[in-house]
Structure 1
Amino acid sequence: MSQEDGRQFRPNLVLIDHRRRRGWESRRKAARELHRLGQKHGIRETPALESIEKAMYRHETGRAAITDPVYRQLYCLAYDATPHDLFGAFEAVEDSRDHFVVRSHKFIPTFVGTEAVVRLIADLDLTPQLGQWTDCHSTSVEHPGGPCDMYAWPFGVVIYHLVEELEFPNVAALAVWRQASYRDNMLWTSDDLEAHLGTPHPASYILGAYWMVKPLWSGGLLDTALRILCTPKVLLRRDSDGDGTLGHAELVERSLMAEGYEHGEIVDFGIKGVSSGYASWSGVVYYPTAPDRALTEGEFVACELATQSLWAYCEFLNSQIEAGRDPVVPPEYGWRFLRGMRSRMTTPRPRETGQHRSLRNAVLQTSDLVPHLAQAIETLRELNEG
């Protein structure tokens, strides 16, 4: 941040990025273009060239807010953008604290086949895991990002579960980190599996879940922040690899925090006075406001491990079908096995609490696992009967 008379200013990275994207390295050159557009479009209040250049300096360095309608119109014309893209809304009141702390849980599944799982269990001395929803083995693996466990299911799926405790000044910073880290994590996982198995097994996707440790917000702002955290990609451009990625994301975040954020595919599974929890196709977020009565982190993780292991298995089966091949699987992991797994995932347990049921239902609904299982069961049953 820049300083003047003891005050701190936050540079407007969005405006700077848009100017540079147009190839206008100097403000003088950009000011000429804004002046030309003002005259071309008959904007009678278009300021003089020198005034535009001075205003651009104040706007880009954060010394002045962009409140003048003339400048808002000129910027939109010059950068071919909407007011929301460039200016957003800045009325949200932020907490006085600087950062929030979150534990990121990344679930990185890969289908490797039943024989490969047998090899991994033997070579890496994977041990049976108690307390999981489905039978599996696991072991700890070294990862530069933080604690990481490799889980293996006998029906051919491996999941790397990477845990990273992180501190961010806003959700925008997490969204930018998330996108960059996902690429690195998938490459690392693929390389690690190839080192153990000798053949390539590219990771197919990552499911991110966040356990809020220390929030930055309170009240309605906390609720909005958790919703954004559930779908962080909403803050990013589709082409979000440029220098202005973070600046743009921060601008969008401030707008959403001011206006509120709703998304039709987000499912609320929190319990008032106990927890706040949201699930979506993009991920899951949970904040235990009353830790002694809320879900535990282990319960949170177990639900996702079971869901993603079966999702990855069904994805493999359906990908074989779409490629014009009949899936070949051991009989013990055929349609009857999947039918049993569907019952395990969808049927409440006798001692299951309301919180467990809410979590399970939210994750199943947003992951689309049930229709995914139904398609796989139908396919394997047709092959068996054919």
Structure 2
Amino acid sequence: MVTVEQWTGREAVLLQSVMRLSNRDFASTLGVAFGTVMKWRRQGAELVPLPATQQILDAALRERCTDEEQQAFYARLSPTVPAQALATDFSVPALGPCTVVSHKFLPAYIGDAATTLSGAGEHRPAGPGGLEQRTLPAGHPTAEVSRVHVFACGVAVVHLEEHHRLEALTDLALWRYRTYLADRAWAAERLAGLSPGKQPTGPEYVLSAYELRDNPWNGRGLETALQLLTTPSVLVDRTNPDDVVSLGPDVEQAKFAGGWAHPEAIQFGGGVSLGLAGWSGVAYHPQPDERALTMDDIVALELDAQALWALSSHVLAMVEAGQDPVMPREYGWRYLRGAYSRLTAARPVETAQHRAMREAILATSELPDRLRSAQDALRDSSP
């Protein structure tokens, strides 16, 4: 069996992934500082823990992991481990049809145009970040649900919900990249049409969250499916953004056979439900007969997170352009400080599953660091 000759941040993050622990729970389990875990995530293979910490990681793998978790760890550590060497529970079925609900979030800073849109919108309860918002129908031509969420701080987030029946996850990856540019252009035109006389900036990016419903996978196969949903770039060739093509069905099959996992993705969930958060998106497979998170919980967090990302990006763009960042007083650094606190602080009524989901999404998005930077910039420029 492959062994860990030298632990780095990459192997430590891999251990956290197979143990399915949040950043704080992983730190508590090992008896290390929360900041240490975050350094492992940021620096990966470039960071080599001290010998004493190497021993702690050895013991955690040997004594705190189940046999299945150890096998999953070794399989991901060494892609050369043959599939037949894994336990029966980790058997990988042939690729088969599955149902995926796609949620796209397209955030844009629109400034004063938000006032115009808010007046025509329907009031919506504040989400986890406590941001005041209203919604308008977006009228997307193919989405089952499409809304424009207008935030009082000057941001709009277009939310598109689209349902897919797939024969392979590569099909979804192709659809994702082939529609991103068109969706951004459509959203920019839609926002401009909703606020005549204004010229709001269009979305700079698209963030996806996927709900995996009926599917042929379990165990390691289900984990791999969520990994591929979160990081679909490994299934396609994006050399030409205008003509993204499949790398072929053999690539997807090989990922399942080898138990592919992105080293920086963070798992969350509870019971038989399973979720995964990464830089480019979120994937979740809920079990309705369990007391699990719902996709609505994830969507609510992402709406606030993407709104704050767009707001902080606007502030930092002014700084990078050599300008003193200026925002209305009610949306200055104190506003960002309050949003940061609401998003990052645990609540007494919050379940462990919800906390793990929130921490995973915030950690992989790097939003907390961005909010602090924007907050400092606004404070420094305040008279």
TM-score (normalised: structure 1): 0.71
2:294 matched residue in structure 1: 296
Structure 1 stretches lacking a partner, 5+ long:
1-88
Say whether the 8 Å CA contact 2:122–2:134 is kept in structure 1: yes
Task: List per-residue Cα deviations over 1:212-257 (Å, max 9, x = no partner).
Answer: 11123222211111111111112222315698922x1423211111
Tell me the amino acid that sits aligned with residue 368 of structure 2: V
1:379 has 2:377 as partner: yes
**What pairs with 1:1-386 in structure 2 (closer than 5 Å)?**
95=93, 98-113=96-111, 115-122=112-119, 125-130=120-125, 132-133=127-128, 134=130, 135-146=132-143, 147-198=145-196, 199-240=199-240, 245-246=245-246, 248-271=247-270, 273-385=271-383
CA drift at 1:142: 1.1
Query: Structure 1 CA distance, aligned partners of 2:95 and 2:320?
Result: 51
Q: 1:109 to 1:97 in 2, by over 3 A?
A: same
Query: Structure 2 CA distance, aligned partners of 1:274 and 1:131?
Result: 30
Structure 2 stretches lacking a partner, 5+ long:
1-81, 85-89
CA drift at 1:145: 2.0
Tell me the amino acid that sits aligned with residue 374 of structure 2: A
Tell me the amino acid that sits aligned with residue 141 of structure 2: P
CA drift at 1:188: 0.4
Query: Structure 2 CA distance, aligned partners of 1:190 and 1:130?
Result: 25
Tell me the amino acid that sits aligned with residue 137 of structure 1: R
Query: Structure 2 CA distance, aligned partners of 1:178 and 1:94?
Result: 25
Query: Structure 1 CA distance, aligned partners of 2:244 and 2:348?
Result: 52
Say whether the 8 Å CA contact 1:99–1:169 is kept in structure 2: yes
Q: 1:156 to 1:243 in 2, by over 3 A?
A: closer
Say whether the 8 Å CA contact 2:269–2:293 is kept in structure 1: no
Ranked by relative contact order (alpha carbons within 8 Å, sequence separation 6 or more), the top structure is 2
Say whether the 8 Å CA contact 1:186–1:203 is kept in structure 2: yes
Task: List per-residue Cα deviations over 1:284-322 (Å, max 9, x = no partner).
Answer: 000013544111121111011111111110011111111
Tell me the amino acid that sits aligned with residue 118 of structure 2: I
The share of aligned pairs that are identical, in percent, is: 37
SS at match of 1:263: coil
Task: List per-residue Cα deviations over 1:18-77 (Å, max 9, x = no partner).
Answer: xxxxxxxxxxxxxxxxxxxxxxxxxxxxxxxxxxxxxxxxxxxxxxxxxxxxxxxxxxxx
TM-score (normalised: structure 2): 0.72
1:32 matched residue in structure 2: none
Task: List per-residue Cα deviations over 1:99-127 (Å, max 9, x = no partner).
Answer: 110100001000001x21110122xx212
SS at match of 1:103: strand
In the comparison of the two structures, how many residue pairs are matched?
292
Q: 1:375 to 1:243 in 2, by over 3 A?
A: closer
Say whether the 8 Å CA contact 2:293–2:353 is kept in structure 1: yes
CA drift at 1:95: 3.9
SS at match of 1:377: helix
Query: Structure 1 CA distance, aligned partners of 2:377 and 2:317?
Result: 12
Say whether the 8 Å CA contact 1:295–1:356 is kept in structure 2: yes
SS at match of 1:223: helix
Query: Structure 2 CA distance, aligned partners of 1:269 and 1:127?
Result: 32
Question: Greater CA deviation, 220-229 or 152-161?
Answer: 220-229
SS at match of 1:160: strand
Query: Structure 2 CA distance, aligned partners of 1:98 and 1:259?
Result: 17
User: If you compute each CA radius of gyration, which structure gives the higher value, 1 or 2?
Assistant: 1
Query: Structure 1 CA distance, aligned partners of 2:244 and 2:323?
Result: 45
SS at match of 1:359: helix
Tell me the amino acid that sits aligned with residue 193 of structure 2: A
Tell me the amino acid that sits aligned with residue 330 of structure 1: P
Query: Structure 2 CA distance, aligned partners of 1:110 and 1:254?
Result: 37
Question: Greater CA deviation, 233-242 or 274-283?
Answer: 233-242
Question: Greater CA deviation, 191-200 or 92-101?
Answer: 92-101
Q: 1:106 to 1:242 in 2, by over 3 A?
A: closer
Question: Greater CA deviation, 214-223 or 170-179?
Answer: 214-223
Query: Structure 1 CA distance, aligned partners of 2:241 and 2:363?
Result: 32
